[in-house]
Amino acid sequence: MFMNRPTVLKAWLTMFDFHFEVLRTVPLWVRFPNLPLNYWSARSLSWIGSLVGVPLGADKCTSRQLRKSFARLLIVVDTTKELPNSVTCRMGLGR
């Protein structure tokens, strides 16, 4: 994080070409609106985040359950793949 924003750092290579370099994976903040509270455990949030990519963690409001309107996770996503528009969670499975 740099100035409270996710930052991607890579080792410098002498043959680096800005026009050729492609980031295949990027960290992305993803919101899950109206997520039932029984899905707000670290295990459930990690499972839900893994449906989108590789979950890195939740923001402070989600971790402390300070905001109930949506959960927000930082997830590493593959830019070469299409992101899902939604994920479906069934009640009772978020233990």
Domain segments of the chain: what residues? 25-78
Sign of the dihedral defined by the CA atoms of residues 86, 83, 27, 95, in that order: positive
User: So what's the pLDDT on residue 1?
Assistant: 72
Q: Phi and psi of 65, rounded to 5°?
A: 55, 45
95 has a pLDDT exceeding 50:
no
Amino acid, single-letter form, for residue 84: P
pLDDT at residue 50 in the model: 94
Q: Compute the distance between CA of residue 25 and CA of residue 86 in angstroms, rounded to an integer.
A: 20
Query: What is the average per-residue pLDDT within 6-29?
Result: 78
Work out the percent of the chain whose per-residue pLDDT is above 70. 93
Amino acid at 72: R
pTM: 0.75
